Amino acid sequence: MYYDSLTEKGVSILKIIDDVNNRKWYSNSAEGRVELQADVDEETYNAIIAVWGDTPTVVEPVPPPEQPTDTDILGQTVADLTLQNMQLNSAVDTLGAALAQTQIDIMALKGGAS
């Protein structure tokens, strides 16, 4: 294993496996350091970190948030409509009970029920 092209932004590691050159770039970022440590021996890692220092110099880009799929949007719409329907049913039940009580009160005033 060899490292070349060691800069403050990253390092290129060359591994020769079965006479085949395998080169990989590791950025001097938090994620790149974790990946480097997993892929190289401790001596190589420590030598690179000695040059890089304690603080990463590269900030990994933050991926944009996932956009909802059509299925997600449809599911949310169905859930919203179901909730609205339940709220309307509750309002209708409340109004029905109030109407029934009003009819009983009117009949009591007319002397038809007690």
Residues 6+ apart with CB under 8 A from 39: 13, 24, 26
Residue 59 lies in a domain: no
pTM above 0.85, yes or no: no
Number of domains in the chain: 2
Residue 96 lies in a domain: yes
Residue 61 lies in a domain: no
Residue 26 lies in a domain: yes
User: What pLDDT digit, counting tens, does each position of 34-80 carry?
Assistant: 999 999 999 999 999 999 999 999 998 777 778 888 898 899 999 99
Over pLDDT 70: what percentage of the chain? 96
Residue 46 lies in a domain: yes
Residue 58 lies in a domain: no
| Cα–Cα distances in angstroms (integers) from residue 79 to residues 20, 66, 90, in the given order | 56, 20, 17
CB atoms within 10 A of CB 48: 20
Its domain, for residue 38, covers: 2-52
Residue 63 lies in a domain: no
Residue 60 lies in a domain: no
